[in-house]
Structure 1
Amino acid sequence: MRTCVLVRMTVIVCILLPRFQLAVAAGGRAELLQAPIALAPEPGSAQRVGEASLAAEAFGVHPGMALGEALARCPRLALVPPDPAGVADRWERLLVRLEAIGAAIESERPGLACFDAHGLLRLHGGIEGVLAAAQRGLRVPMHLGVAPSRFAAVAAASRARVRRPVIVSGDREQARVHLAPLPVALLRARPSLADLPQALERLGIGTLGELAAIAPAALADRFGTVGLLAHELASGGDGALRPRPAAEFVRESLELPEAASGTQLEHGLGLLIDRLLARRERRDRTLRAVVLSAVLVEHGGTWREQVVFRQALAQAGRMRLALVPRLALMPAPAEVLRLSVQRFGPPAVDQRSLLEDPAAARAARLYEAVHQARAAAGPDAALRVLEVDPGSRFPERRAVLAPFQGEP
């Protein structure tokens, strides 16, 4: 008797728009992108540069580098003020177009998106059809990479050219062979590993193949969990994708007659809240998270602030109480004020029973807190402690963290 085991092959597609944030901040001025420029640090954040042009990268400037070191390497480096609101709006529109072809998108940062194409192969007629559908949907120049793992797909996209995708077929072993000659600098694509390539290069480890050849125990002893993650990526592996929930782009904008601040800005915010709640696309749903943004008067910069409500709201007064204090964080007067929905909540029906069960009320508040934490920090923000071996001599074996699931 023979037993057949079906093995599902993972086909990860990576869409890369190089220097997306820099291009948006430059306002489409192609001549500016030819010079050595980089994104300036955001106000109040660490003094590190953002994305850099090709001319700046020729001097060794890369995203995340300290501002002083970047200026020392390239004295002619020009800094462009970042445009976080413009980047977020344009990237959200592109993601909505990509989701229209049936893709479940995971996006670590603007300009980089990955999705599993296994379920779309028959729908679009193979991997070439999936890539063609993505190009028709986005309608912008892009680099495409296909590989068995997410990191390998990102590496393939970084080597691809416009209309010339790089496709790595096979399993983890083929992905490891493809990654072997590539530089360890590709690890900067993962935010948690941004500082690791510099340390590896100082130790004489220049390629991902050399990194994969090192024993995992040695990397764990020197770099901890970061070293183990880097070894896993260099060996062709990676974690599973975590697609974002499909979102709707609902936004209201108000052009202010003059540079507004203070009470005038609060009145404008109240008008935006009323308009947003009156939109037909809301369909009587509550709002769990919104984004408040503005176009500033000084240097045409922008400001963006994400707000997650303690409870999903549909009342204008309560939303105003939560959003008005955020206006004080705006670094300069605004000429355009915007309010958009980042995540909807359940329908606005909250009828309480005549005799409320205290246990049920506590459970409802607990699950509402879980939803709020996940909306603010992602799916791993709320976990439960699961006992595995309570009598073990080793504390780390007594319990593990598991996803908090279920509904009240």
Structure 2
Amino acid sequence: MRTYVLSMVVCVLLPRFELAVAAGGREALAAAPLALAPEIGREPLIGETSAAAEAHGVRAGLRLGEALARCPTLRLVTPDPAGVADAWETVVSALEGIGAAVETDRPGMAWFEEQGLRGLHGGSVESVISTTRRALVGGESRTGAGARVGAAPSRFAALAAAHRARARRPEIAPEKPAGLAAYLAPLPVSLLSSRGEVAALPEAFERFGIATLGELAKLSRAALADRFGNPGLLARDLALGRDTPLRPRVPTERLQEILELPEAALGQQLERALGMLIDRVLARPERRGRTVRAVVLSAALVGGGTWRSQLTFREALADPRRMRLALGGRLSELPAPADSLRLRVEAFGPPNGDQRSLLAEPAAIRRARLREAVRQTRAAAGPDAALRILAVDPDSRVPERRLALAPWEP
């Protein structure tokens, strides 16, 4: 009789990852109460906080004035989004180096299924976790040192196990559904805040007196659907250990170019620097004639810290003029003068085979681009994302009868 082994999901959790990178290492987190300063030009809300700051009641999302009132000795750390992205890419690459297909939606949290790795790394989930921990602390940067590793049959349960784990003691949740639900039952509902679809629900649950996942799981589906809709049903499934399958990213090679800027470069100097970066990236032999689908434009700021902006083009392209038009507007978002600019290719498209007609009219080209824009908009926001207004009964005294909405087709 053939035996099937249940696949487990491994979660790698690096708490306060963004703060640790910006502060220069995890050792700095224990020195004093720390918090990420608000980004320049945005709402004055602090970011991640250290354990010492949390002991004074300072939490991420507090307004700067309230945080300083609660902890006068709070030290603010300049955000470093570009450094965080680079450091997290090192961690994810280390996991992919052992053969893992990694899903990650934010720095500090990653998941992968371990069943396909058992034959490579010892034949058990424990051996896969041991290999994972060695890969994270290897290398010169040791970016993954201090990671918590948990394993469970689903994504959310693996994250809960990682929260209960310690740097030197991984946590493995029960495999059977009944045992998994009992394992999750005493945990706080605040764990749901790590999931974007249900991040707003923990506060509402706590107001209703629902403090643990076990109390949430005891509620009926009908009651949750009536009060919270689909997010409430998803929260209940997560509390019971059910979750959607992983969506691992596709590993791709990344090209980048860096250009040092003259002091206080502004306006046309920045635009010329951007044009040089685009030309250099497109001239790299590693591109091999492929188009570019997504890029990241980042800068090291004069006063410290970094700035980062990601852009996915409407269609994959290799035209430097169109790339400059798309990226030029992002330069106006720079919060301060920059010391250097960096352009990195995040995703490639197919080889450049956009052979338009020699006599193609501008109107035809515009209609084709409009059709593609409508298709992508509807794919992202639903079939009602692009509508047109039709005059049905212009002379009617009832305003609702005069006009109607219908699908728009270019």
TM-score, length-scaled by structure 2: 0.81
State the SS of the aligned residue for 2:182. helix
Equivalent residue, structure 1, for 2:183: 178
State the SS of the aligned residue for 1:259. coil
Aligned ranges 1:49-198 → 2 under 5 Å: 49-67=46-64, 70-124=67-121, 125-139=123-137, 140-141=144-145, 142-198=147-203
Which moves more between the two structures, 177-186 or 121-130? Answer: 121-130
The Cα shift of 1:345 comes to 0.4
Equivalent-residue separation in structure 2 for 1:287 and 1:39 (angstroms): 33
1:13 equivalenced with 2:10 (yes/no): yes
Which moves more between the two structures, 191-200 or 249-258? Answer: 191-200
Structure 1 residues 108 and 365: alpha-carbon distance in aligned structure 2, compared to 1, 3 A threshold: same
Tell me the C-alpha RMSD between the 2 structures.
3.1
Equivalent-residue separation in structure 1 for 2:377 and 2:307 (angstroms): 24
1:263 equivalenced with 2:268 (yes/no): yes
The Cα shift of 1:71 comes to 4.4
* Mapped contact 1:34–1:53 kept (Cα < 8 A): no
Structure 2 spans left out of the alignment, 5+ residues:
138-143, 385-410
Aligned ranges 1:368-379 → 2 under 5 Å: none
Aligned ranges 1:308-319 → 2 under 5 Å: 308-319=312-323
1:240 equivalenced with 2:240 (yes/no): no
Structure 1 spans left out of the alignment, 5+ residues:
375-379, 386-408
Partner amino acid for 2:334?
M
Equivalent-residue separation in structure 2 for 1:282 and 1:367 (angstroms): 28
Deviations 1:336-393 (A, max 9, x none): 110001111001123357999xxxx99996996599669xxxxx737679xxxxxxxx
Equivalent residue, structure 1, for 2:350: 346
Deviations 1:150-197 (A, max 9, x none): 111001111111131101131322221111111222122213333322
Equivalent-residue separation in structure 2 for 1:341 and 1:296 (angstroms): 21
The Cα shift of 1:253 comes to 1.1
Partner amino acid for 1:93?
T
The Cα shift of 1:68 comes to 5.3
Equivalent-residue separation in structure 1 for 2:230 and 2:186 (angstroms): 24
The Cα shift of 1:234 comes to 1.0
Partner amino acid for 2:354?
D
Alignment partner of 1:307 out of 305, 311, 323:
311
1:38 equivalenced with 2:35 (yes/no): yes
Equivalent-residue separation in structure 1 for 2:26 and 2:174 (angstroms): 38
Equivalent-residue separation in structure 2 for 1:196 and 1:129 (angstroms): 37
The Cα shift of 1:260 comes to 1.7
State the SS of the aligned residue for 1:258. coil
TM-score, length-scaled by structure 1: 0.82
* Mapped contact 1:9–1:171 kept (Cα < 8 A): no
* Mapped contact 1:173–1:236 kept (Cα < 8 A): no
1:215 equivalenced with 2:220 (yes/no): yes
Percent identical: 60
Equivalent residue, structure 2, for 1:404: none
Give aligned pairs, total. 373
